[in-house]
Structure 1
Amino acid sequence: MNPIRLAALATAVVLAATGCSVDSAGKDDNAVNVVIGYQSKTINTVTAGTLLRAQGYLEHRLSDISAKTGKKYHVEWQDYDTGAPITAQMVAEKIDIGSMGDYPLLINGSKTQSNERAKTELVAATGSSPTGALNMVVVSPDSPVQSLNELAGQKVSASVGSAGHGTLVRALSKIGIDPKTGVEVLNQQPQIGSSALESGQVKALSQFVAWPGALVFQNKARLLYDGAELNYPTWHGVVVRRAYAAAHPEVLDAFLQAQLDATDFLNTKPLEASKIVAQGSSLPQEVVYLYNGPGGTRFDATLKPSLVDALKGDVPYLKSIGDFADLDVNAFVQDGPLRTALTERGRDYNTEVARTANPSLVHGTDPVCNVPVDNPALAGELWLDGADTTQPAANPTCLLKAVRAAEAKGAKVRAAYVPDAELGTRWLADKSVWVQQGTDFLPFDTAAGAHRYQTAHPGSAVVTYQQALVGVA
């Protein structure tokens, strides 16, 4: 890292420790303060938070401006568990730019709109899932519960107003359970809810990434419901206070350029990025790579119409939980600053916003089956302990063969990733429910998904992961 970036980072660390206030001149040097609210453990916001901060992209961009204009900037990073406290700080005009999930984004726009200095606009996306796979419901590993219907009358932990809670409400409503009276929702922060699940205080936990995957990876939970069953987009994005952006447009442009830097880095070097994010979030790298690796979360900053339409569809849910003022979503979403940022990089916003494919996919040649890895719906990855790269697998069968071959040589599998055969969600192979159909072995991330397949395919049978490894031809 160059000396300028190191100096900028040092300044940011000092300010984070001293807690300088927003949009006010520094006592000594009249520097412009830039206060960023982010969620280090909400890893589909890393391009506007954890990864962006660790790489120093924003400080580097601002130092370039300083070199040209003489104006100085101080960056302060504030880390939170959910989007709600970021919104509270933006209402108080103490945070300038923040990142959060779709439901919290709407709440942010609603709660800030009555104050012109606090009023925000949505300027970029971070990570998204076109199916809703970023939110999940988990139960304890030994829970007898096998489907969402069995949670009727039970206690469920969720952060009310979060994307994870929104998924729970939609999912329960879809199967005929009143989300207000059919279950008892305990409004808890993710880490509190995780403890409540472990202690047996609640029967299930409905949360956003990376909490479900982390608990499953650590053998503290089992996936009950994949939000992808809703087939409804979920995403996270970036909001900025309009008054701040108007006063310091160069800061917003620098932030968006830095976010694009982080996005490009993650999409081209996902394994390296996962290591950086793991260090910055204290999450296991295997979990970070589960969600942020190829074929996982789609990292694309453009504000796609499908995502904006999903926001509009989320409004009834927010009204149902109360305290939500009407919000003009079209006016709230402002793609102008990002259009400018992309143009400055020689890229076309209209071209990029029209792209729907995940920019990061598993590719290469499968070294076990000796075939090209060219079908994202089937492709998986094997990560061996001590390896600096992952090994691509063309399909679930090839992945099982690769795991078996590696273990036969005494290698230790750090993680194996495979897409759910029904929903396409990237998941952990050893935590999947495997179904054998003839000589084929198909992975499902939930027992309910495996059951649906069995019902439609008489003669198929659920097998353990070890049985699948032994039985693969």
Structure 2
Amino acid sequence: MTAVPRAHERPPARGRFVARALPLTLLLPLATACGGAAGAEDSKTVTVTVGYQSKTINTVTAGTLLRSLGYFEKELAARGRKDGRTYKVKWQDYATGAPITAQMTAGKIDIGSMGDFPLLINAARGKQLRQPTRLVSVTGYNLRGGLNTVVTEPASELRSLTDLRGKKVSTSIGSAADGTLIRALEQAGIDPEKDIRKLNQQPSVGASALAGGSVDALSQFVAWPGQLAYEGKAKALYDGADLNLPTFHGVTVREKFADERTGVVDDFLRAQRRATDHLRARPVAAAETVAAETGLPAEVVYLYNGAHGIATFDPALRPELIAALKKDVPILKDAELIGDVDVDAFVDPEPLRRAVPAPPYGKATAARPELWLRGRSDTRAFDSPKALLKAARGADVRAAYVPDALTGTLWFADRSVWVADGPELRAFITPDHARTYVERHAGARVVSYADALRRAS
């Protein structure tokens, strides 16, 4: 389901998007007109409405995968056997977090999942409309920011962010991908307001615009960059992990619903933990399930959600993630998307402590090269890119993944930029990364993927 931006959310001709926060006196009538509470019920029936993003695949433990496994419904059925009520779950699928927030502040969605920037907008809008929300868990995260990527079309001559001066760039304003774009441009000495032309587009629209040549680059969140690269429709220009700033997605609940249905929130978090356990124990099966539910290639899902994928799944509200969320506030304030947000008041760790007392999984380990052969229900990990390539040569490869030698972000081996450094082979997501490595290592040079395969053997 593709959400249509409201009139006050349409982009200006140039520059950052501004003036999206309507006065409270105008927003309140809109919320009132939208209807009553999501948790519709009579004396014996309780309906819980969950907003999720099926194709934002590092939210799957609170959305697509969770829905497919039925764990939340099972938790609620157990509750119903104890209290004599019938619990129903209504799942609502959206392309981005913005419409989930709109429905939550209208009282029509009880629980939602979205990225870190939309979560802050969720907190701000909830407070403004007197429908406060709480952040109660995390779904997937990357401690360096590798979930967001800037891509160009395959034949583009753009080689680094500095080449974007005067170019058209598509992104979704208010998303984590937009935040990555703003930060990256500023670090490169480019003014996001004056030096590029930014278009505010839904991810699917931006992907079509890139393919049609109406934009020069696309900055988007998981799984769009990986999908476009896998399909041969894009190549990476900038790896969000270069920012070395965590990015994540999480679960937000309406405060009123959480207070009235504390046990239901606990049930959701227990179900989310079960879905996370399933994904971590059976990553290939989980990828296949998400692919079947969303239409995304399983190979793309696994790039992000696999055993060594770009996203790490853990519901814990880690301090480093909350610290990163606080650093996101000024970006959204500068774009006039929010005012002040009290992040500490928005984050509520108590439900997770109460529902899932088990300790967190621990931090993500370094990614390893990984090979997925056709006809296999498992993958094989390797200690080096060269070993991966040696095993892939002549094999019936479904997908081969390799971490970037500078940032550790996993990428498709045949879409990576390869460098030969003596007998060693190293892979990079972007030409800029490869160039940086070559400049620092005498004798190193860029080689084609075919040449890298030959050298590995």
- TM-score of the superposed pair, with normalisation by structure 2: 0.90
Partner SS for 1:171: helix
Distance across 1 between alignment mates of 2:396 and 2:155? 26
Correspondence for 1:152: 165
Correspondence for 1:399: 388
1:205-244 equivalences under 5 Å are 205-244=218-257
Correspondence for 2:423: 439
Partner SS for 1:113: helix
Residue 30 (structure 2) pairs with residue 23 (structure 1): no
Among candidates 86, 93, 98, match of residue 84 of structure 1: 98
Distance across 1 between alignment mates of 2:455 and 2:379? 24
Residue 400 (structure 2) pairs with residue 416 (structure 1): yes
1:385 Cα deviation (Å)? Answer: 1.1
Q: Please, which runs of 5 or more residues in structure 2 have no aligned partner?
A: 1-34
Among candidates 369, 375, 382, match of residue 371 of structure 2: 382
Residue 442 (structure 2) pairs with residue 453 (structure 1): no
Give, as a single letter, the amino acid of the residue that structure 2 aligns with 1:294. Answer: A
Distance across 1 between alignment mates of 2:89 and 2:376? 36
Among candidates 261, 270, 293, match of residue 280 of structure 1: 293
Deviations for 1:171-211, whole angstroms, at most 9, x for unmatched residues?
A: 00111111111111100000000000000000000000000
Among candidates 342, 354, 378, match of residue 328 of structure 1: 342
Correspondence for 1:94: 108
- TM-score of the superposed pair, with normalisation by structure 1: 0.87
Distance across 1 between alignment mates of 2:162 and 2:68? 42
1:21 Cα deviation (Å)? Answer: 6.3
1:123 Cα deviation (Å)? Answer: 0.4
Among candidates 35, 47, 51, match of residue 49 of structure 2: 35
More off after superposition, 65-74 vs 163-172 = 65-74
Distance across 2 between alignment mates of 1:119 and 1:174? 34
Distance across 2 between alignment mates of 1:20 and 1:440? 63
Distance across 2 between alignment mates of 1:24 and 1:462? 60
Distance across 1 between alignment mates of 2:109 and 2:264? 13
Give, as a single letter, the amino acid of the residue that structure 1 aligns with 2:437. Answer: Y
Asked whether the 8 Å contact 1:20–1:76 carries over to 2, the reply is no
Q: Which is bigger in relative contact order (C-alpha 8 A, separation at least 6)?
A: 2
Partner SS for 1:186: strand
Give, as a single letter, the amino acid of the residue that structure 2 aligns with 1:458. Answer: A
Distance across 1 between alignment mates of 2:194 and 2:232? 31
Partner SS for 1:228: helix
Correspondence for 2:62: 48
Correspondence for 1:255: 268
Residue 302 (structure 2) pairs with residue 295 (structure 1): no
Aligned residue pair count: 422
Give, as a single letter, the amino acid of the residue that structure 2 aligns with 1:446. Answer: T
Identity among equivalent pairs (%) = 52
1:356 Cα deviation (Å)? Answer: 2.2
1:394 Cα deviation (Å)? Answer: 1.7
Among candidates 143, 164, 167, match of residue 156 of structure 2: 143
Correspondence for 2:32: none
Deviations for 1:305-353, whole angstroms, at most 9, x for unmatched residues?
A: 100000000011001111312111001001000001122xxx24xxx28
Give, as a single letter, the amino acid of the residue that structure 1 aligns with 2:89. Answer: V
Correspondence for 1:3: none
Partner SS for 1:206: strand
Correspondence for 1:106: 120
1:281 Cα deviation (Å)? Answer: 1.4
Superposed CA RMSD in Å reads: 1.4
Distance across 2 between alignment mates of 1:291 and 1:23? 33
1:101 Cα deviation (Å)? Answer: 0.3
Partner SS for 2:356: helix
Give, as a single letter, the amino acid of the residue that structure 1 aligns with 2:435. Answer: H
More off after superposition, 380-389 vs 136-145 = 380-389
Distance across 2 between alignment mates of 1:21 and 1:274? 34
Distance across 1 between alignment mates of 2:373 and 2:129? 53
Asked whether the 8 Å contact 1:111–1:325 carries over to 2, the reply is no
Partner SS for 1:287: helix
Partner SS for 2:199: strand
Give, as a single letter, the amino acid of the residue that structure 1 aligns with 2:206. Answer: G
1:384 Cα deviation (Å)? Answer: 1.0
Deviations for 1:205-243, whole angstroms, at most 9, x for unmatched residues?
A: 000000000000000001110000010100000000010
1:24 Cα deviation (Å)? Answer: 2.1
* Over 3 Å off, 4+ runs: none
Correspondence for 1:179: 192
